[in-house]
Structures are given as C-alpha cells and as structure tokens.
Structure 1
C-alpha cells in the first residue's frame, strides 16, 4: 500500500509533466530535507548551522562582490524558505494561480514565467538593496519563491484579468482585484 502511494506521488510530482506540481514538489522536498538536517544538527549541538549554510551559499546575496562567485544563487534562492508558513502560503498561491495560468498557457511557458519571475525578483532585490539609502550599511540575503509565485499570479491576472473566482463570504471576484489585494498585502 505504501509503495503505491509513494509511486503515485512520485509520478504526479515529477513525471506527469505538470509544472505546478513539479515546483511544489521540489520546494517541499527541499524544505523537508533542510528542516530535518536542521533538527539533526541542532540535536548534535550545532544550532543554526544549516540555516547559516543556506544563507551563506544558497540564498541570493545583496552584496555585489558575491554575485560572481555565487552566480547560481539567482536560481537556488527560489527553492529555500524561511519557515513553514512561508512555504505553505507560497505553495498555496502557486497551486491556485498556477492552475488558472496553465489553463491558458503551455507548461514550457509556465516554466519560463516561474524562473524568469524569480530571477527578476533577485534583480529587483539587488537594485533596491544597493540603491536605497536605508540599506546602505547592511548586507542581507534573499530566500523564497515569493517572486516566482507573484510572477505566475501577475501573468495569470494579465492574461485573463476578468477571470472570476468565487470567494467564501465575498462571492465572485475578478482575478485582477485579487492580484491587487495580494500585492498590497505583500508590501510590508
């Protein structure tokens, strides 16, 4: 019974050709592996070792000096999340908006929007962090699929702005208005 369940999950995530489930699966597996490694290193007395490694080598750095040696982080940062709720809400939004977006585009186009949106998020972060005076004496790192998920959401709302979604207690709401609320909630 367990083997059927695992093989079915493996097929849905990695062999079905569904990019939404593929990215959810990759993000979830990475989150579980990092969380388990964090627990093991914590129990061994090395608190914060895994988080430090992720922040140092896999998160996108704000310092331009590190971009040449950590060029790969423009992609890797998109698959690491700070905590459970960070990944939970990113993956819920990806599932909901990804389903709508895939109704109107091909999987190849979905891959492009997801990855290009993540890269654009890193570029925007780098610009804001290095141009805005409030961050001038600080360095930081970026993790999470938020930019990639937001790009899928924005692409879906741009492609079909009048697509209606029935929301509990509210009724039918057009996708463009849901995107507006999503953007306002994420500006913090």
Structure 2
C-alpha cells in the first residue's frame, strides 16, 4: 500500500476529527497555489474567503463566518492549530458523538466570527481574520467544562488536570489581548465562552449541535439520487362498449305502454277497430 492509499484509508476510517484536519490541510495547500504571495512571503486571501470586520463586506458574504475557519496565515499557524485540534478532539470524543463534535466546531467558528467582527467594528478597527483557533478552543473548553478533573499526561511534565492546561491557555490569551494579534485572542476567548455555554446548555437538555445536524441532513437528502423504478408497459384489454341499461329500460317502457294502449282499445271497441299499423305492431310484439 502506497502513501496515498494509506491516507485515503485513514480518511475513510479516521472519523470526523481526522477529516477536519485533512480539510484544513487541503485548504492550506490550495492557499499555497492560489493565494500565497511568494514575493511578499504571505497570504493574500480574497474577501469571499477570509472574514472581514467591515460590515459592508461580511453582510454580503455571510458564508465567510465559516470559511475563514479552514484557512491559515502560515504553516506554523496551521501546525499549532492542528496539534491542539487533535488533542482536543480525542478528549471531546471520549464523551460525545461525532455529530456533536462537528456541530460544535461549526457553531463555534460562526460564533467566534460574529464576536470578532462586532468587536473590531466597535473598536473602529478594520482587519480580516483566518484560522480555526476559535472553533478549536470551543471544543477544548467544552471537554474541560464537562470533565475538568480528567488526568492528562504531558511529555516531560507528567499527569496534570485538564482544567490546568485549558486555564493556562486562557490566561495567556487574556494577558496578550492588547499586545499582539488582538483579533486572534478575541476569537480564542469567544470560542472558549461558546464551548462552556454549549456544555451548560447540553446539561440542561438543549443540544445546539442538532441545528447543524438537521441542516446537513437536509442538504444530504436534497442531493441524494432518488431511486427510479423501471418503466413498465401496461396492457389494457379492449372491451366493446355495451348498451346502457337505462336505454333498454326506456325502450321497454315505451313498447309496453303502447301495447297497453292497444289492449285497452280492444277491450273497449274490439279487435276490428285497430288500424293496420296497430295490428302489425301487436303481432311483432307478441313474437
């Protein structure tokens, strides 16, 4: 089995978490081909992919509240996010389903994008953002909120509580909020809040991921090929139309009425008083 076949097999059996990693890597590779500026050494994403804080842009391109979460600004940006995503995915999927995982990732990305856009708008800052970190933080904090005392073994450190790891990441975001990459830190904190809120609502009986599941199921059923039944030739036996029963009844009634009138005439005046036509009619009716 070659490397390509191995990757296909892993994608097929790896579950939704591995597929999300593959999708992010694929988008990064596409970015290198179409959006990387080799002269400037950076990415130049179009405003129909990246998320802008300018209302005149994102209002007319609402899909960017999701697409931005599949593109990254550098290889290190992608590498760090995918490492954290892989770590958070294993924790989250220990307790929840893959549909809940995908729903939380998508909703976390959308919520994070909304908070980023409105925060920068009120701060009077116009800037774009790309990256999956907000959605990843939603998954990490959701797992931490549900099982904060879970032991996690870290290399060179040993066993630590899950909430210790998540707490350190959030503290670093708060400390650097006004120093560098403000939009990135806002998205991290927004994703963390959404992950916390998701678990609290889930514990109260409200699963927000059902929204995403229903939308995806709708489109899946919409594009599913409908099964067509083979054409069947239908043979119909031709039946000669029969006379209507009502017409026979009417004819019989008129004939009988005429016979009765002739018989009355005979009883009153005798047979000789009948006309030639009446005699012939009576003779035919008696056959």
Give TM class, smaller chain: 0.7 to 0.9
- Which residue number in structure 2 is paired with residue 159 of structure 1? 146
Structure 1: tracts of 5 or more residues without a match: none
CA distance in 2, matches of 1:80, 1:160: 30
8 Å contact kept, 2:21–2:82: yes
1:97 and 2:88 correspond: yes
Deviation track 1:23-53 (CA, whole Å, cap 9, x = no partner) reads 10000011112113356x74xxxx46x933x
CA distance in 2, matches of 1:114, 1:182: 18
Matched residue pairs, number? 175
Pairing of 1:70-149 with structure 2 (within 5 A): 70-132=61-123, 136=124, 138-149=125-136
Larger RCO, structure (CA 8 Å, separation 6 or more): 1
With normalisation by structure 1, the TM-score equals 0.85
The structural deviation recorded for 1:8 is 2.5
After superposing on structure 2, the runs of 4+ consecutive aligned residues of structure 1 that deviate more than 3 Å are 36-39
Question: In structure 2, the residue corresponding to 1:58 is in which secondary structure?
Answer: coil
Tell me which of 134, 137, 142 is aligned to 1:150: 137
Deviation track 1:74-104 (CA, whole Å, cap 9, x = no partner) reads 1100000000110101000000110111011
1:20 and 2:3 correspond: no
Tell me which of 26, 30, 38 is aligned to 1:29: 26
1:7 and 2:23 correspond: no
Question: In structure 2, the residue corresponding to 1:165 is in which secondary structure?
Answer: strand
Deviation track 1:156-184 (CA, whole Å, cap 9, x = no partner) reads 10111111112233321111111011112
- Which residue number in structure 1 is paired with residue 170 of structure 2? 183
Q: Which has the larger radius of gyration?
A: 2
Tell me which of 149, 155, 166 is aligned to 1:168: 155
CA distance in 1, matches of 2:70, 2:156: 34
CA distance in 1, matches of 2:53, 2:172: 24
| Larger relative helix fraction | 1
145-154 vs 57-66, which moves further: 57-66
Question: In structure 2, the residue corresponding to 1:108 is in which secondary structure?
Answer: helix
Question: In structure 2, the residue corresponding to 1:56 is in which secondary structure?
Answer: coil
CA distance in 2, matches of 1:113, 1:97: 12
8 Å contact kept, 2:151–2:161: yes
Structure 2: tracts of 5 or more residues without a match: 177-287
